[in-house]
Amino acid sequence: MIKILNLLLIIFSIHCRLNSEPPSVSFTFLIADLKHSEEEGIKICELQSGVFSAFRGYDWLVNEPGAVPKKVISMLQQFGQFVWVSPGVVQELAILNEMKNHEINFAPKIQELYQEKSFLTEAALPVEDPYDLASYPVLLIANRNYFKGKLESFNHDFPNVVVFDQALFPYFRDKNKMSQLFSGDPLLERIRPRWRLCERKMTIDEINQTPGYFSSEYVVIKPLHALLGRGIIFVERNKLPEILELICHKPKKLSQHKDKGYQYWSNAKDTQLIIEEFHYSDPVAVPHLGNKEYDPTLRIAFMVWHEHGEIHMDFIEEHWKLPYKALSEKGTFKDKHKSYEHIPYFELVEPERKAAIQQQLRETIPLIYAKMLGWE
């Protein structure tokens, strides 16, 4: 599959040369949350930009504060570019502090960047090989809001600047668009839980038909644009109509619910939602939690880039995120299966399992990234 993809990318690259179109390079930081079992392989539940994420779990597990930030900075600087970071785009304080120790520039607002002398000087440096990422003198880390709707004009004004994560901008905080990337390719459809986009204006008849689209015992309801697990509800498939009726037709009744996932929908402006099947991981026994077994979710971070008509990726870190309750303990389904995200509820990934997961991602992430780039 990878050989076929690389052949297609080479053909695309030749097509660009023949038509004198400007070549394209890109550089993106991604994280994925996924379930994994020996029987099913990986099931990617979330795929999003890594610049907004915190990585305290891995640093705590390896007892090395700043382990992930150091890897991130090393990868950002691997092509020898001048690196600029826009205000507010990086949320993790440890990464920001590491940037200050590595001569990374902090950009002003977009309007002021056009008058920043050092940026203008660096951005004017020549690009010797437009197909080579290292030839571009400047890497600008910013989110799409930084450009205030003028990204196209910025690219035109500064063709020698690589905008970090630009391939990801159309999919930012949109679970529907991101999920669509897995559609239409059997290999990609196998690594994403079966999902369905639903309107909150569904009729009662449509709501009652919804369980028939899924086969898993439990399903997960998700808002399209929320972050940090807001609005996520775990529900038995046969109880789905009952919950959907509340979300779609009687949301105010959810305002006093003890679960914040339900409370979210009491005043949410979302007109759509996603429902997807819930998959279990093979359990992991955690020594520092009494060797109790947990249903883990894998958090994995990696960089993806393309140059010379090829897509590359490199992993930064991976670790298990654990629920608050072990499988043997009393608690709700959510207690036993939703990541708790607090120390000490993390665990390192077993080497053989880590290798199997990375191999499957190497076979599939380039296909997803090619779709992001429009190479279909």
Where in the chain are the domains? 1-19+31-48+173-193+279-376, 65-169, 199-268
Predicted pLDDT at 288: 98
Predicted pLDDT at 53: 76
| Residue 83: strand pairing partners | 139
How confident is the model over 314-357, as pLDDT tens digits?
999 999 999 999 999 999 999 999 999 999 999 999 999 999 99
Residue 11, pLDDT above cutoff 70:
no
Percentage, residues of the chain above pLDDT 70: 94
pLDDT band at 21 (very low <50, low <70, confident <90, very high): very low
How confident is the model over 36-62, as pLDDT tens digits?
999 999 999 999 998 877 778 999 999
Predicted pLDDT at 22: 37
State pTM to two decimals. Answer: 0.90
Does the structural domain 65-169 have CATH classification 3.40.1010? yes
Residue for token digits 């009744």?
253
Q: What angle do CA 90, 86, 81 make, to 5 degrees?
A: 95
d(CA 240, CA 265): 15
d(CA 281, CA 364): 19
Mean pLDDT of all residues in 198-224? 96
CB 45 within 8 A of CB 297: yes
